[in-house]
C-alpha cells in the first residue's frame, strides 16, 4: 500500500478495507478493526458482511459499483458501541479500485470516523429545536394554527360546538371545490349531508384528544359525491365556545371505487360460471352491477339482424333485450320505452358505443335520442355511461348505465366496465356457438334418424362395425302404385315428385303411428317391416292395420287430386300390397350412404305377394293369415305359383273383425 495514501487517510480519520470481486476481504488498514462489528471476522478471505452487517441486502448495489454501473455506494452515520460505553459513528463509502497497486482487490471500503461531526450535528439539532420552541412560544396562537392548517396535506375542517365552520385549509378547497370564503361561517351540513352523524361520533368521549374515524359521503361544489374518512377530535379553546371540533379527512373515494370494481368483476365471473343460458346470466348481471356500482338503471342492447327490412343484406340493429331499474315509476317508464325501441348504428348512446367500440361517459342530454329525452328529464337522470359487449374485436352489444346522482367521469371505471363487457361478450359468443352447434347436432340427428332406426343409429355412432341381426319373427309389407307410369307421363318432374312425396309422406306418418320401421322406397314402391329392429309380438297386426289405412289414404288422395288437378284424365291410382311373416336378417352394410335393409326368404316372398297380387287388394301368405285370422277378415284366393317357391296358398286381407263381423 502506498504510504502517502495511508497518511492522507489517517489525516482524515479514515481507514480502508479492500475486497475481491466476491466481496471477500483482501486487505485491512491498521485501524480498520475499530469500525468492524466483529473484529475477529475482519481478516483476509472472510465475507465482508460478517464485519459490516449493514451491507447485507446491498449486494446488488455493490455489484453495480464493481461492474461500473455506478461510481460508489455510501452508508452514513453507522453506529458502533465502544468498550467505554460511548458510540462511534462512521460513514462507509464503497468504490471501485482502478490502481494497479491493489492487484488482488476490486473494491475498496473507506471508513470515516464522523463521531465528532455527529455530536456537533446533534448539538445543532438540539439548539434548533430549542429555538423552534422559543419561536413557537412567542408566536401568537392564530399564526401557529394557520401554519398547521396551511401545511397539512389532508382536508381540515374546524367547527365550533354549533357545527359552524371556523377554519378550512387549501386541501379542503382542492378536494371539495369550495373556497374558504364559501365555507367559513357556514354550517358543516354544507359539505356533509349528515352533520349529526359526525357530531355524535365524538360525543361519547368529548374529553379525548383524538376521536374515532368515520367514513361519510360529502358533496363537492359541483354536486358530485366523495367518500371521505374523517378523523374527529376536540380541542379546548379560551373563547366562550369552550371547545372546537377538528375534522381531518382523507379522500377514500378511489379506494371505495376500486373495491366496488373488484367486487363487480368477481360478481360477474361468479354469475357467468353458474349460468347456463344468456338470459339467465343477464337477468342476474344487470341488477348486480347496478347495485354494486351504485347506478339507478342499466340496459343491455344486443346486435341482431333486422328481419323487417326489405334490403338484400339485413340491416344490423340493436334491441334492448334486458333492463333493470330501482323501484321508481319514472325509471320504469324510461326503461319500457327502451325495450320497445330499435336503434341503428350511431343512434343514441348504445349506437355511438357500438359504432366506436369504445366506452362513453356523457350527460343524459347528450346520451339519449329525442324519443326518451323528456322521460329522462322526468326521471331525473343526469349522467349516463355505456361500454361495448364484445368478443374477439366484434361488438355484440352495448350495456348502458344511468344515474340520478352527478358522477364524475372515471376512466378507470370505464376500463373495468370494458373488462366486464369482454367477459360478458365471450360468454354470449360461447353460448351462441354452443346453441348453433346444438342446433346443428339436432339437425344431423334428425337426418340420421330419417335414414336409420334410432337404436341402429346409436350403435353406428359408437362403432362403425358391420351390423347384422337375425329376427325369428317379423312381418314385411311391399306396396306398389298401379297406373303410376301412365299418370307420370302427363305430369311435370316437379309435379311428379310432389305427388310421390305427398303419398309416401302419408305412408311414413302411418308407419310412425303404428310403430313400424320404414325400410325404403324404390321408385313408386314402398317397403315397411314390423318387429324389426324393435321386436314386438303384434308385428303382423300392426302391418295389417297399416295396409288397410294405406288403401283408405290412397282413396282420399285420388279424390283430392282429381278435385284440384288440371290433368285431362282423372287420377285412378291403386296399389298392390303384399305381406308375409317369417324370419328375416336385418342390418347395415357398406361404408357410404348407409341404409338399413332386410334380407331372406320372408322379404322375397312378401315382394312376390305384391308383384303377383291384384290391384286394389292386399295379398298375404298363409303364415300371415294364420297369425291374423281371429282379428281380421280374409278372402281365400287359392293356390298361386310363386317364382322360386312353387305353389303357395294366398289370401286377400279385407278388413278388421269385431265380434266375428268384417268391417
pLDDT at 226 over 90: no
Domain ranges (residues) in the chain: 3-119, 141-251, 259-434, 454-662
Do the domains spanning 3-119 and 141-251 agree at the CATH topology level?
yes
Fold of 3-119: Beta-Lactamase (3.30.450)
User: Cβ neighbours of residue 94 under 8 Å, at least 6 residues apart?
Assistant: 62, 65, 72, 73, 74, 107, 108, 109, 110
Q: What is the pLDDT of residue 3?
A: 61
pLDDT at 309 over 50: no
Angstrom distances, CA of residue 495 to CA of 124, 472, 504, 557, 570: 116, 42, 14, 14, 15
Instruction: Give the integer Cα–Cα distance in Å for 569 and 559.
Output: 13
- Give the H or E element holding residue 438: helix 411-451
CATH class of the domain defined by 454-662: alpha beta
pLDDT digits (tens, 9 = 90+) for 18-39: 888 888 988 888 888 888 888 8
CATH no. for 141-251 = 3.30.450.20
* Partner residues linked to 348 by β-bridges: none
pLDDT digits (tens, 9 = 90+) for 135-178: 666 665 566 666 666 777 788 888 887 778 888 888 888 888 88
Q: What is the mean pLDDT of the chain?
A: 80
The backbone torsions φ and ψ at residue 190, rounded to the nearest 5 degrees and listed phi first, read -60, -35
pLDDT at 286 over 90: no
pLDDT cut 90: percent of the chain above it: 16
* Partner residues linked to 656 by β-bridges: 632
Domain at 259-434: CATH architecture:
2-Layer Sandwich (3.30)
pLDDT at 511 over 70: yes
pTM equals 0.48
The backbone torsions φ and ψ at residue 112, rounded to the nearest 5 degrees and listed phi first, read -115, 125
Lowest-pLDDT choice from 151-155, 524-528, 617-621 = 151-155
pLDDT at 570 over 60: no
Amino acid at each position: 500500500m502506498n504510504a502517502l495514501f495511508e497518511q492522507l487517510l489517517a489525516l482524515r480519520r479514515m481507514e480502508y478495507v479492500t475486497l475481491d470481486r466476491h466481496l471477500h476481504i483482501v486487505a485491512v488498514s491498521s485501524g480498520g478493526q475499530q469500525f468492524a462489528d466483529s473484529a475477529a471476522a475482519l481478516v483476509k478471505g472472510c465475507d465482508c458482511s460478517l464485519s459490516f452487517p449493514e451491507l447485507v441486502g446491498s449486494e446488488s448495489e455493490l455489484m453495480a459499483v464493481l461492474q461500473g454501473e455506478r461510481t460508489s455506494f455510501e452508508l452514513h452515520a453507522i453506529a458502533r458501541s465502544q468498550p467505554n460505553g460511548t458510540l462511534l459513528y462512521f460513514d462507509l463509502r464503497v468504490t471501485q479500485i482502478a490502481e494497479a497497486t491493489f492487484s488482488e482487490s476490486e473494491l475498496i471500503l473507506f471508513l470515516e470516523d464522523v463521531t465528532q461531526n455527529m455530536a456537533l450535528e446533534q448539538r445543532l439539532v438540539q439548539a434548533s429545536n430549542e429555538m423552534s420552541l422559543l419561536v413557537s412560544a412567542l408566536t401568537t396562537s392564530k399564526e401557529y394554527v394557520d401554519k398547521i392548517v396551511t401545511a397539512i396535506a389532508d382536508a381540515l375542517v374546524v367547527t365550533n360546538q354549533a357545527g359552524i365552520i371556523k377554519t378550512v385549509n387549501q386541501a379542503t378547497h382542492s378536494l371539495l371545490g369550495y373556497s374558504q370564503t364559501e365555507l367559513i361561517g357556514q354550517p358543516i351540513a354544507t359539505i356533509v349531508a349528515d352533520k349529526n352523524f359526525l357530531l355524535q361520533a365524538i360525543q361519547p368521549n368529548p374529553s379525548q384528544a383524538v376521536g374515532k374515524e368515520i367514513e361519510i359521503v360529502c358533496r363537492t361544489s359541483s354536486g358530485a359525491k366523495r367518500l371521505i374518512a374523517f378523523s374527529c377530535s376536540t380541542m379546548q379553546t379560551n373563547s366562550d365556545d369552550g371547545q372546537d371540533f377538528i375534522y381531518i379527512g382523507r379522500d377514500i373515494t378511489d379506494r371505495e371505487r376500486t373495491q366496488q370494481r373488484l367486487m363487480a368483476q368477481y360478481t360477474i365471473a361468479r354469475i357467468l360460471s353458474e349460468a347456463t343460458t344468456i338470459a339467465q346470466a343477464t337477468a342476474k348481471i344487470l341488477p348486480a352491477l347496478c347495485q354494486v356500482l351504485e347506478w339507478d338503471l342499466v340496459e343491455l342492447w344486443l346486435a341482431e339482424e333486422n328481419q323487417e327490412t326489405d334490403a338484400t343484406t339485413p340491416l344490423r340493429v340493436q334491441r334492448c333485450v334486458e333492463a333493470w331499474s330501482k323501484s321508481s315509476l319514472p325509471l320504469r317508464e324510461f326503461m319500457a320505452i327502451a325495450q320497445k325501441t330499435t336503434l341503428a348504428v350511431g343512434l343514441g348512446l348504445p349506437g355511438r358505443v357500438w359504432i366506436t367500440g369504445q366506452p362513453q361517459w356523457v350527460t343524459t342530454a347528450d346520451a339519449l335520442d329525442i324519443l326518451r329525452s323528456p322521460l329522462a328529464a322526468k326521471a331525473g337522470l343526469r349522467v349516463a355511461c355505456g361500454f361495448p359487449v364484445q368478443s374477439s374485436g366484434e361488438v355484440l352489444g352495448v350495456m348502458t348505465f344511468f344515474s340520478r346522482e352527478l358522477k364524475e367521469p372515471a376512466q378507470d371505471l370505464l376500463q373495468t366496465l370494458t373488462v366486464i363487457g369482454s367477459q360478458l361478450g365471450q360468454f354470449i359468443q360461447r353460448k351462441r356457438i354452443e346453441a348453433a352447434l346444438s342446433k346443428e347436432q339436432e339437425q344431423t340427428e334428425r337426418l340420421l334418424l330419417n335414414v336409420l332406426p334410432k337404436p341402429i343409429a346409436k350403435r353406428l355412432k359408437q362403432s362403425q362395425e358391420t351390423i347384422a341381426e337375425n329376427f325369428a319373427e317379423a312381418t314385411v309389407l311391399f306396396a306398389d302404385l298401379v297406373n303410376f307410369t301412365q299418370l307420370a307421363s302427363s305430369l311435370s318432374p316437379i309435379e311428379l315428385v310432389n305427388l310421390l312425396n305427398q303419398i309416401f309422406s302419408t305412408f311414413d306418418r302411418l308407419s310412425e303411428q303404428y310403430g313400424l320401421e320404414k325400410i325404403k322406397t324404390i321408385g313408386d314402391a314402398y317397403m315397411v317391416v314390423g318387429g324389426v329392429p324393435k321386436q314386438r309380438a303384434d308385428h303382423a297386426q300392426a302391418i295389417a292395420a297399416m295396409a288397410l289405412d294405406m288403401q283408405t289414404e290412397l282413396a282420399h288422395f285420388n279424390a283430392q287430386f282429381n278435385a284440384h288437378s288440371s290433368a285431362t284424365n282423372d287420377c285412378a291410382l291403386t296399389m298392390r300390397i303384399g305381406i308375409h311373416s317369417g324370419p328375416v336378417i336385418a342390418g347395415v352394410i357398406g361404408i357410404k350412404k348407409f341404409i338399413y335393409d332386410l334380407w331372406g326368404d320372408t322379404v322375397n316372398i312378401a315382394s312376390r305377394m305384391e308383384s303377383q297380387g291384384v290391384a286394389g287388394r292386399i295379398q298375404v301368405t298363409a303364415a300371415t293369415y294364420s297369425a291374423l285370422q281371429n282379428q281380421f277378415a280374409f278372402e281365400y284366393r287359392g293356390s298361386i305359383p310363386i317364382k322360386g317357391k312353387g305353389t303357395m296358398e294366398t289370401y286377400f286381407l279385407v278388413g278388421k273383425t269385431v265380434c266375428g263381423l268384417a268391417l
